[in-house]
């Protein structure tokens, strides 16, 4: 079941990719996004966790989300613009993982031009990657 493109992923609120104050490039709202609205589905390819672990070891930058059934969504392959949502300890979006889908929702009203951010929670960095979010409640590491 590995290497399957996620079915019918959509971006309901398009974003602009631009230089981020958090890290690299970020995703910025092109319009106001109301609280609790679905922003869209993260694009990518479904791979096994075994493949994901190998990718993590081989690449410095990788966009992966662990799914159910020992699978992961590799958002570095067949991606969409939502892969540019950076981590923040004080986010304005949240991620919902459902079976083979990864969805982003607005935690609060997001203004046009605002950078989208999400608290990644536990990552393969195991708390060793310095966080650059600059949020008031920043934990310091991802």
The CATH number linked to 82 is 2.170.270.10
Residue located via tokens 């923040």: 88
Mean pLDDT for the stretch of residues 29-36: 98
Q: Is residue 59 in some structural domain?
A: no
| Confidence class for position 123, pLDDT limits 50, 70, 90 | low
Strands, E assignment, the chain: 4-5, 15-19, 25-29, 38-41, 45-48, 64-66, 71-74, 86-87, 93-98, 101-106, 117-118
| Confidence class for position 1, pLDDT limits 50, 70, 90 | very low
pLDDT value at residue 68: 79
| Confidence class for position 62, pLDDT limits 50, 70, 90 | low
Q: Is the pLDDT of residue 15 over 80?
A: yes
Among residues 16, 31, 37, 7, the alpha carbon closest in space to that of 82 is found at 16
Total domain count, the chain: 1
Q: Is residue 85 in some structural domain?
A: yes
Domain holding 110, by residue range, is 8-43+77-118
Q: Is residue 138 in some structural domain?
A: no
Mean pLDDT for the stretch of residues 63-74: 84
Q: Are 117 and 21 within 8 A, CB to CB?
A: no
Which of 10 and 104 is assigned the larger pLDDT?
Answer: 104
């Amino acid at each position: 079941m590995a290497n399957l493109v996620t079915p019918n992923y959509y971006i309901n609120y398009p974003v602009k990719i631009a230089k981020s104050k958090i890290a690299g490039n970020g995703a910025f709202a092109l319009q106001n996004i109301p609280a609790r609205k679905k922003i869209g589905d993260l694009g990518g390819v479904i791979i096994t966790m075994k493949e994901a672990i190998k990718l993590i070891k081989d690449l410095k930058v990788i966009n992966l989300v662990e799914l159910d059934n020992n699978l992961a969504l590799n958002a570095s392959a067949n991606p969409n613009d939502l892969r540019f949502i950076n981590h923040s300890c004080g986010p304005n979006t949240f991620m919902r993982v459902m079976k083979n889908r990864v969805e982003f929702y607005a935690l609060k009203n997001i203004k046009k031009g605002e950078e989208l951010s999400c608290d990644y929670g536990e990552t393969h960095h195991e708390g060793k990657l310095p966080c650059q979010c600059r949020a008031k409640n920043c934990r310091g590491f991802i």
